[in-house]
Structure 1
Amino acid sequence: MGFQTARAKKNRSNNSDDIAPDPLHTVNTLSIVIHCFKAMFTCTKDREACLITFIYLWLTQSLENIKSADDIPSLTRVTGSETCDAHRLRIIHVDGKSWVEYAQCYSTPQGVFWQWQPLPIILNNFFYHYVQTLSTTAVTPLLSAQQRQQLWILISKPWKTPKEYAQYGRLRKDVFFRYFTIMAQRCPYLSTTAKSIVLPEHVLHHFSAKAYQKENSNQIRYKIFRAHNQYLERLDTASKQYGINLSINNAHHKIALLFDANLTLPSYLNKKGQIDAFERRKNANNQGYQYIQLPSIEIGSRRALPLDQLRLFFDAIDEHVKGCIPLQDWTINQLITTTYQLAFQFLILTGVRPTHALSLEKCRCYGIKQAIHSDKGRYRVIYLCNYLQESIHYYLSIQKGLLTQLNIKTTSPYLWFLLDKDNQAQVLNAKIMRQFMQQHWPHRYLLNAIKKQPYSKWKALLREQFSTPPAWHHDNIVPTILYFFTYDLIQYGGVKAATLSVSSLSKYTNIYTILSNHPLTYIQACDHDGLMQWATTLYESIDSEGDRWLIYNFLRFLPQLSVTEHFDITQFSSPFFL
């Protein structure tokens, strides 16, 4: 076994529901650290500066990387108007409440970015009372060379356990250093994208996992803030339950304990799902200042699908089976559509790869609660959530009743399966699933048909295989409009070129990812005001000039269709000169 394989195996083990460090042992070790600081630093000012730095390094998982005094960073305080950079702290004032933020590193393929990250709740008071005394006009390092040397001695030397601390047990020093790393690794609520930011690269168990997900920095900031609060709250609970002494005797700054959970959050930290970052800017004529929201950055892959598109996809599938609850109304086609629906639910709710399993084997499914499936030559356990269990039970009841009613005698080793033209069981595979998906965006059939054919055969291919256009779905006619738009581009070309390459056709028609969020009903399209309102909402929702240009070309095609012939393109201006 190679080094990379062995390390990946170890990291997978650490990410598989392993036990988190005992909170009592952890908080007792933290109390021993504070005791060591009191014994080593007789000067209160030096102790405060070094303790602040130590807690910062512990929170940011940097302690295990300190190999000498020169590796210890010196924190600096900056104003709310300065940019975020490594080892910077700032205090932000919102709603009459103050909060300390530190710099969090975001490593992306485009480079390294630093983003402000709010401190956990129970550490904010401790940091605030000290950071507010630091100057922002004359930015000087927090630690001198002598203080860094003293802190290095404390980090590197053994920590002896005083008798009064021995009764509760403690962690090994290296495990204590990695407390936040271990908690993040084993946290089921921290997304893979957030883990790729907060965890060191060498402990990530799946380097390519973030290529399948995408989040912005505001969402990641919220998840890191929530996770850090959870990791520290369990320590605070243990310290109160067992009376662990976390007193820092910091009378100079009117703070007695390291942890303080009795704080009221400012409004920007109460926003569910995301935490925005701000920059302080002066108002006109230097009359005070205000906080301006900073743009977020995207982390992850562009292949990740927005949740709204997933919802629309599942809603479209549900339209095929909705209203067919009475058994006598069901047909084979509706059962097949329900089979697809269940297969997609299975994929999205279990995370199983479609190249490995699209249904459950009867002999390896146990009470419709859990099952095992083969993945890269290994059998892996999957647990079925309550919603999926109910869907499977409902499907099996419909399947059994319909097959009995139609006297279809077929067997399959799988719970759900398709039926071919001879009413024989047909196993689902990834190709069949992709073909079903393309029915909801029929223009993709056109692109797939021509992409491996020379241009000279395109028009003949359109006549032979696509002489019958797709039906209009009255609840959303956008996919059909895009089909005609794509057909027109293949046959007649674009504005400047009579022939478009496959890559250009894909560029012009990839707007379906944008159009997915803007359905258009048939009734709305027939109404001039309703159609114009839909187009205006669609156009104004786009920030990128490139995407606006593509949507503009699509809108310019609408008057060529009878259902949208009343569309007025003159109400829109092209973002580029023609």
Structure 2
Amino acid sequence: MTSFNQLAQQNRQKNSGGRYPDALAHTITLAIMLRKIAQEPANERAAMLIVALFLWLTQSWNNIKKVSDIPDFIRISGTTKCQENAFRTYCDGANSSAEYAHNYGNDQKKIYLWQPIPKYFNDFFQNFISNQNYHTPFLNPKTKKRLLNIMRKKWRMPPPLKLKPRVRKDVFHQYLIDCALADNTLTALIRNQIVSHNRKHHKLADHYQNSDSDRMRYQLYNAYNRYLSRLIKEARTANLYQHFDLINASLSTNLINEHSKVASYLMQKGHITQTVFETSNGSKQRICSLPLKIGSKRCLDEAAVVHFFSKLVDLVGSKPKRSDDKMLWFSYYCTATYRLALLFILLTGCRPTHSLSILKSYYWGDDILFIKDKGLLRQVIVCDYLQTEIRHYKKLQSSVFDLFGVNATLDELWFGIDDHGQPFRLSNRILRQFMHQHWPGVVPYQLRHFFAQSAVTQISAARLLDQDIDRLMGHASMGEHLGSDQMLPNTFKLIKTYLNEYAVRLRLKEFTYD
């Protein structure tokens, strides 16, 4: 029976920022696979190599149990709409690149867009695909069966590689997934394009982020190139050139040799545009597709967020006079409370369905406080601006309580006061109603989505890595909660710097209630 400590350690190892897979051992296993297929008949070898490499690239081999599970891959023309299991070649005028259909959607709604083949595989893929007939499957059923037999049978170590390390086939088939899980520079949304759902560490992290297809295509292309470059480098260092020869009817190439130039459209900074072709009046026109928005639909526009919180400052700008009616004071106090609660969500990303205030016993006016989140204590780092706002609010709270003799019986740091002068705890429903009055159609939880998206997109010297964003969002599995998790001083400094810059970016105004 697995102990808690073992499960906790395993979960921490799955987090981004961990150790990458052994590159040399995976390189040797890749060489074994290539040698196996190289023994097949020459007229079918190239197609088998293409399918084997592509299914490995897309981490699909572990899901293939029978011949019918191997897809019918085909070549389609540039004027045909992108579709599942399709390939095409694209020439930008000087260099050609192979592209494949990649699903940017999910199982419920599939969105197929063109994705360039990684540069280390492009020469072989492009040459093969350009010589295929349109809409003709690369493999026939008999060839599929032979390929499946190769992948199923035990791979014995060839004598020239006998002293080299290797990994099991099932581990080798998940090399790119393991790299993506360890890669701390990937956002959750991009990682979701590589990692299968059952291997995702924090299952819902990508639900809080959005991007567009052009940026995602660029990041995915570069991620694959980084992971493959680890294998190529190890193969070159170990002088394994003879094991990486790929030969078809019209091309003899080597996977680990230097390759031809990358097409210019793949070298644009930050994005890769999809080009489609349309035939009009007998001529073919290139059209750059508009990027598709992918990811969270609940993220907010930054200008709208800035305007909303500026509006809240105006709401608390007219403080009642000391002689004014008690009801007016209670209404003003509640407005100030709701503003602080919304600021708390905006600047910490805490879940408004679980934490709308802080327990007094867990706050000492410092950079770190603790909240109850899903029944567990969670550490939250607070920016300087929010600390200042909390201090100003506590002064207002104290003056209102003294003025009307309110007895603060609740454990929370901020709470409302009803018409009878009785304190009440904040709830998500109350905050939703208040927010709807001043920003119809928007709910407090969308501020949490905005917080996550801002952490991904903000250009700052204090750039957060994926693990830092997960920490801020409270995404944690067993072994990553308070008591099991440790934060190094440099990490704390980085996060605190980012949070301070984030508050400045939103142009939030300090309010003293004077």
**TM-score, length-scaled by structure 2:** 0.64
**Is the alpha carbon distance of 1:19 and 1:213 closer, same or farther for their aligned partners in structure 2, counting shifts above 3 Å?**
closer
Corresponding position of 2:478: none
Q: Which amino acid aligns with 1:66?
A: I
Q: Which amino acid aligns with 2:286?
A: Y
Secondary structure of the residue aligned to 2:304 is: helix
Corresponding position of 2:27: 30
Corresponding position of 2:240: 245
Corresponding position of 1:142: 138
Corresponding position of 1:559: none
**Mapping 1:119-130, distance limit 5 Å:** 119-130=117-128
How large is the Cα RMSD of the aligned pairs?
4.7
Q: How far 1:357 moved relative to its partner? A: 0.9
Corresponding position of 1:117: 115
Corresponding position of 1:389: 383
Q: How far 1:85 moved relative to its partner? A: 2.4
**Is the alpha carbon distance of 1:112 and 1:320 closer, same or farther for their aligned partners in structure 2, counting shifts above 3 Å?**
closer
Q: How far 1:116 moved relative to its partner? A: 1.7
**Mapping 1:252-271, distance limit 5 Å:** 253=251, 255-258=253-256, 263-264=261-262, 266-267=264-265, 270=268
Corresponding position of 1:379: 376
With CA pairs under 8 Å and 6+ residues apart, which has the higher RCO, 1 or 2?
2
Question: Mean Cα displacement is larger for which, 155-164 or 435-444?
Answer: 435-444
Q: How far 1:63 moved relative to its partner? A: 0.5
1:316 to 294, 308, 311: 308
Q: Which whole-Å CA distance do the structure 1 matches of 2:310 and 2:163 have between them?
A: 60
Do the aligned partners of 2:190 and 2:219 also contact (CA within 8 Å) in 1? yes
Q: Which amino acid aligns with 1:119?
A: I
Q: How far 1:54 moved relative to its partner? A: 1.3
**Mapping 1:211-230, distance limit 5 Å:** 217-218=213-214, 220-230=216-226
Corresponding position of 2:485: none
Q: How far 1:110 moved relative to its partner? A: 7.0
Do the aligned partners of 2:27 and 2:234 also contact (CA within 8 Å) in 1? no
**Is the alpha carbon distance of 1:363 and 1:97 closer, same or farther for their aligned partners in structure 2, counting shifts above 3 Å?**
farther
**Mapping 1:192-207, distance limit 5 Å:** 198-203=194-199
The reply on whether 1:293 has 2:277 as its aligned counterpart is no
Do the aligned partners of 1:37 and 1:47 also contact (CA within 8 Å) in 2? no
Q: How far 1:216 moved relative to its partner? A: 5.6
Corresponding position of 2:97: 99
Q: Which whole-Å CA distance do the structure 2 matches of 1:237 and 1:307 have between them?
A: 43
**Is the alpha carbon distance of 1:64 and 1:349 closer, same or farther for their aligned partners in structure 2, counting shifts above 3 Å?**
farther
Corresponding position of 2:175: 179
Do the aligned partners of 2:417 and 2:424 also contact (CA within 8 Å) in 1? yes
Q: Which whole-Å CA distance do the structure 2 matches of 1:14 and 1:442 have between them?
A: 41
Q: Which whole-Å CA distance do the structure 2 matches of 1:305 and 1:415 have between them?
A: 29
**Is the alpha carbon distance of 1:250 and 1:231 closer, same or farther for their aligned partners in structure 2, counting shifts above 3 Å?**
closer
Q: How far 1:266 moved relative to its partner? A: 2.9
**TM-score, length-scaled by structure 1:** 0.58
The reply on whether 1:155 has 2:154 as its aligned counterpart is no
Q: Which whole-Å CA distance do the structure 2 matches of 1:352 and 1:431 have between them?
A: 16
Q: Which whole-Å CA distance do the structure 1 matches of 2:178 and 2:150 have between them?
A: 23
2:345 to 338, 344, 347: 347
Corresponding position of 2:435: 437
**Is the alpha carbon distance of 1:183 and 1:195 closer, same or farther for their aligned partners in structure 2, counting shifts above 3 Å?**
same
Q: Which whole-Å CA distance do the structure 2 matches of 1:93 and 1:334 have between them?
A: 65
Q: Which whole-Å CA distance do the structure 2 matches of 1:172 and 1:58 have between them?
A: 14
Corresponding position of 2:61: 63
Corresponding position of 1:170: 166
Q: Which amino acid aligns with 1:307?
A: L
Corresponding position of 1:41: 38
The reply on whether 1:305 has 2:302 as its aligned counterpart is no
Do the aligned partners of 1:221 and 1:275 also contact (CA within 8 Å) in 2? yes
Q: Which amino acid aligns with 1:141?
A: P
Secondary structure of the residue aligned to 1:100 is: strand
Q: Which whole-Å CA distance do the structure 1 matches of 2:14 and 2:345 have between them?
A: 20
Q: How far 1:356 moved relative to its partner? A: 1.0
Do the aligned partners of 1:123 and 1:259 also contact (CA within 8 Å) in 2? no
Structure 2 unaligned regions, length at least 5? 1-6, 318-328, 443-514
Secondary structure of the residue aligned to 1:79 is: coil
Cα offsets for 1:324-379 (capped at 9, x unmatched): 99xxxxx999986665455334435555331211123344469533635231xx31
Corresponding position of 2:277: 280
Q: Which whole-Å CA distance do the structure 2 matches of 1:14 and 1:85 have between them?
A: 38
Q: Which whole-Å CA distance do the structure 2 matches of 1:64 and 1:363 have between them?
A: 51
Cα offsets for 1:147-205 (capped at 9, x unmatched): 43332232112223457656664332212212334445566665666566655455567
Do the aligned partners of 2:333 and 2:397 also contact (CA within 8 Å) in 1? no
Cα offsets for 1:497-531 (capped at 9, x unmatched): xxxxxxxxxxxxxxxxxxxxxxxxxxxxxxxxxxx
Q: Which amino acid aligns with 1:290?
A: Q
Q: Which whole-Å CA distance do the structure 1 matches of 2:107 and 2:145 have between them?
A: 36
Q: Which amino acid aligns with 1:67?
A: K
**Mapping 1:413-452, distance limit 5 Å:** 413-417=411-415, 427-441=425-439
Secondary structure of the residue aligned to 1:343 is: helix
Q: How far 1:58 moved relative to its partner? A: 1.0
**Is the alpha carbon distance of 1:236 and 1:249 closer, same or farther for their aligned partners in structure 2, counting shifts above 3 Å?**
closer
Secondary structure of the residue aligned to 1:31 is: helix
Q: Which whole-Å CA distance do the structure 1 matches of 2:179 and 2:19 have between them?
A: 8
**Is the alpha carbon distance of 1:189 and 1:36 closer, same or farther for their aligned partners in structure 2, counting shifts above 3 Å?**
closer
Q: Which whole-Å CA distance do the structure 2 matches of 1:361 and 1:294 have between them?
A: 51
Structure 1 unaligned regions, length at least 5? 1-8, 326-330, 445-578
Structure in which a larger fraction of residues adopt helix? 1
**Is the alpha carbon distance of 1:227 and 1:349 closer, same or farther for their aligned partners in structure 2, counting shifts above 3 Å?**
farther
Q: Which whole-Å CA distance do the structure 1 matches of 2:285 and 2:101 have between them?
A: 21
Percent of paired sites with the same residue = 26
